[in-house]
Amino acid sequence: MKIFCVGRNYADHAKELGNAIPDEPVIFMKPKSALLQPHTPFYYPEFTNELHYEVELVLRVSKNGKYIQDKFANKYYDAITVGIDFTARDIQAELKEKGLPWEKAKAWDNSAVIGKWVPFASLKNKNDINFGLYKNKELVQQGNSKSMLHNFDSLVSYISNYFSINIGDLIFTGTPAGVGEVVVGDELEGFMEQESLFTLEVK
Ligand code: ZN
């Protein structure tokens, strides 16, 4: 199982971090060990002093493929949820400054959180999915799939030009504006279309 992540897929978020808006999707990966397993506590990692949440729509790959054309891409994923791409922002800033890879900031154990799966078949319009995140009951991030620079189909197609995609792989499709810090004791709740899909306490 592989976890693909997309960076800078919402213009408003690229701007808030002072990044240019890329023409092509920014792709990075997390290993399988990054996925927080159900009923497992989430602990604030020791190596960071600036842990950020990034709420994202997450796709579940349902078919193996390679070199998938845009127009067929929707056959390759069947469910969606919201998740968090946890990021050690202080470490990321250091790595970015040196032009080094991001894994230490993004790919550590339990840095990928996902909620309950929702089948695509039950959604009205995949290009109009509202989602977001509450921190301690306060709305901190809100986005809509219509604001993505690269939509689900073009992401799947693009990724498959470089990597085979396989059943069970996950694709984190990028975060909207509003990323911010969490501290021990914070409670996060991710929602999609008004439905709560996960809650998590930072321990
Ligand atoms: Zn992200």
Q: What is the pLDDT of residues 94-137, one digit of tens each?
A: 999 999 999 999 999 999 999 999 999 999 999 999 999 999 99
Query: How far does residue 119's CA lie from ligand 1's centre (Å)?
Result: 22
Looking at every residue in the chain, the average pLDDT score rounds to 96
Query: How far does residue 47's CA lie from ligand 1's centre (Å)?
Result: 19
More confident residue, 145 or 23: 145
- Round to whole Å and give the CA distance between 169 and 160: 12
pLDDT of residue 16: 84
Count Cα neighbours of 110 within 13 Å in the Cβ-side half-sphere: 15
Query: How far does residue 39's CA lie from ligand 1's centre (Å)?
Result: 23
pLDDT of residue 67: 98
pLDDT of residue 78: 97
Which of 193, 155, 157, 161 minimizes the C-alpha distance to 174?
Answer: 155
Query: How far does residue 92's CA lie from ligand 1's centre (Å)?
Result: 12
Query: How far does residue 162's CA lie from ligand 1's centre (Å)?
Result: 19
Is residue 160 scored above 80 in pLDDT?
yes
Query: How far does residue 56's CA lie from ligand 1's centre (Å)?
Result: 7
- Round to whole Å and give the CA distance between 97 and 62: 37
- Round to whole Å and give the CA distance between 140 and 186: 12
Is residue 49 scored above 90 in pLDDT?
yes
Query: How far does residue 6's CA lie from ligand 1's centre (Å)?
Result: 6
Q: Which residues surround ligand 1, an ion (CB under 5 A)?
A: 54, 85, 175
Domain that holds residue 88: 3-201
Average confidence (pLDDT) over 38-56: 97
Beta strands in 112-186 (DSSP E): 112-114, 118-119, 130-135, 138-144, 170-172, 180-181
How far, in Å, are 37, 76, 77, 87, 153 from residue 53 at the CA level? 17, 28, 25, 7, 25
Percent of the chain with pLDDT over 90: 92
Average confidence (pLDDT) over 176-190: 97
- Which tokens in the block code for residue 99? 């032009």
- CATH number of the CATH domain containing 64: 3.90.850.10
Query: How far does residue 197's CA lie from ligand 1's centre (Å)?
Result: 18
Query: How far does residue 7's CA lie from ligand 1's centre (Å)?
Result: 6
Query: How far does residue 28's CA lie from ligand 1's centre (Å)?
Result: 9
When divided into structural domains, the chain yields a total of: 1
Q: Can you list the alpha helix ranges (DSSP code H) found in the chain?
A: 11-16, 89-98, 103-106, 152-160
pTM of the complete model: 0.96
- What tens digit of pLDDT does each residue of 52-108 get? 999 999 999 999 999 999 999 999 999 999 999 999 999 999 999 999 999 999 999
